[in-house]
Amino acid sequence: MLGLCDPVLAICSMLLGGAAAYVILSIAERMRATEQGSFKMRWLTVGAVAGGLEIWAIHFTGNLAFCPPIPAAQDVGLAISSILSAVVAGALAVYLISTHDGNRLTLMSGGLIMGACLMVTHFTSLMAIHQVADVQHDLAPFIFSVTVMVGLGIFVLLVGGWNIQYGDWRVTEKASAMGVALSASHLAGMIPSYSFSGVATAVSPPGIEVQLLAVVAVSLSTLLAIIDRQVTRASGMARRSHARLLEAIESVPQGFSLFDAADRLVICNRKYREVVSGAGAQVQPGDSFESIIRRVAERGDIPEAIGNLESWVNKRLEKHYNPQGPYIQYRSTGEWVQINERKTHDGGIVAITTDITALKNAEQAAEEAKARLEESLA
């Protein structure tokens, strides 16, 4: 009979299920948090490899724990195939969970494919270790096994999608539920492998090298979970600090804008957007400084630029790239603004735009009063 010959490996296989689920959830949340496509692809790649290897380790280690009464076979090609199918399963899980928008049908469809990948991973890794010719399969148990594995794949994605959409449970609780399902997929895969023909004596369990490999795999998974927890905590602190910074910038009465070394807008506050944005042309992070001032001038907001657009743009860019102090600008609305620009250490430019209309009006009123006084004394 195909039986359990190493309880340590069996326990390691179950623990790897929780580690795999934790990795998938953590990376899916990071992938969802970023808006840049290149970073999304990087996280997807990391999730596919890390989560896929964890899924593969569940089945490979679990298959090592079950020993037939015959010598084990070794097939590198099948082992590689099992790894590739596990990586596909990991990629599916990370992608579908990170992009979940409430559509359960998408998760269920993806779960069917993920369940099929789990099935391929399990049986190819099983055949890579144990001699297939000696394993007797019955059609009914095999169909039942495949059905259960597909159902567990759907369950994993539904729990992950629930995590993204609602977040009612803590990550550890959701990872535990998903981990149980991933580990159970291995047990479901063992249902058809019920006996071996022609042999009645048992062989020795796997050697110390295999046990050491399993211990190392679990240790690395645990270390990864600890590191991920620290990264999550640090990321949370960074997000809170960033939120406080944004709140502080928004509360400043002056217009604030920061451009990177490529002269593209990184961040700005509401006051700056009010100054430079027009109807149907809202300023956005990533806009170049030249495109922003050109739109402002083309709308006719700068009297000095009317009929002299290119010359004004070039002069304004020169002042922007080589700030020499405050720059005063009159606008078609009758407002006066003072622009202070400074270079940052990384080659960017930070600008503070202050409305000085009241000051200019006061100066003009003072000059008019002085002129009237001189006329009366003349």
- Of residues 122 and 175, the one with the higher pLDDT is 122
| R_g of the chain, CA atoms, integer Å | 32
Q: Rounded to whole angstroms, how far apart are CA atoms 254 and 248?
A: 12
Q: Rounded to whole angstroms, how far apart are CA atoms 35 and 3?
A: 49
Q: Rounded to whole angstroms, how far apart are CA atoms 38 and 36?
A: 6
Q: Is the pLDDT of residue 91 over 70?
A: yes
Taking Cα atoms as reference points, which of 136, 156, 164, 349 lies closest to residue 263?
A: 349
- Do residues 328 and 229 make contact, with C-beta atoms less than 8 angstroms apart? no
Q: Is the pLDDT of residue 204 over 50?
A: no
Q: What's the pLDDT tens digit per position in 2-27?
A: 455 667 777 777 777 877 887 888 78
**Structural domains of the chain, ranges and CATH numbers in brackets:** 3-234 (no CATH), 244-377 (3.30.450)
Compute φ and ψ for 255, nearest 5 degrees: -75, 130
Q: What's the pLDDT tens digit per position in 103-115?
A: 888 888 988 998 8
pLDDT number for residue 20:
82
Q: What's the pLDDT tens digit per position in 208-266?
A: 445 555 555 556 566 666 666 666 676 677 778 888 888 888 988 899 999 999 999 99
Q: Rounded to whole angstroms, how far apart are CA atoms 224 and 228?
A: 6
Angle 239-289-348 (CA atoms, 0-180°, nearest 5)? 55
Whether the CA torsion 276, 280, 286, 292 is positive or negative: it is negative
Whats the size of the chain, residue-wise?
378
Q: Is the pLDDT of residue 196 over 50?
A: no
- Of residues 88 and 168, the one with the higher pLDDT is 88
- Of residues 331 and 140, the one with the higher pLDDT is 331
Q: What's the pLDDT tens digit per position in 34-89?
A: 777 777 888 888 888 888 888 888 888 777 776 554 444 467 788 888 889 999 99
Task: Look up residue 370 and give its DSSP letter.
Answer: H
pLDDT interval class at 282 (50, 70, 90): confident
Question: 3-class SS at 67?
Answer: strand
Q: Rounded to whole angstroms, how far apart are CA atoms 266 and 256?
A: 11
Q: Is the pLDDT of residue 337 over 70?
A: yes
Task: For residue 350, list its beta bridge partners.
Answer: 258, 342
Residues 165-194, mean pLDDT to the nearest whole number: 72
pTM to 2 decimal places: 0.55
Q: Rounded to whole angstroms, how far apart are CA atoms 25 and 368?
A: 69
Which residue is it, tokens 């003349």?
A: 378
CA 324 to chain centre: 41
Q: What's the pLDDT tens digit per position in 286-316?
A: 999 999 999 999 988 899 999 899 999 999 9
Percent residues over pLDDT 70 in the chain: 78
- Of residues 172 and 81, the one with the higher pLDDT is 81
Taking Cα atoms as reference points, which of 148, 364, 337 lies closest to residue 256?
A: 337
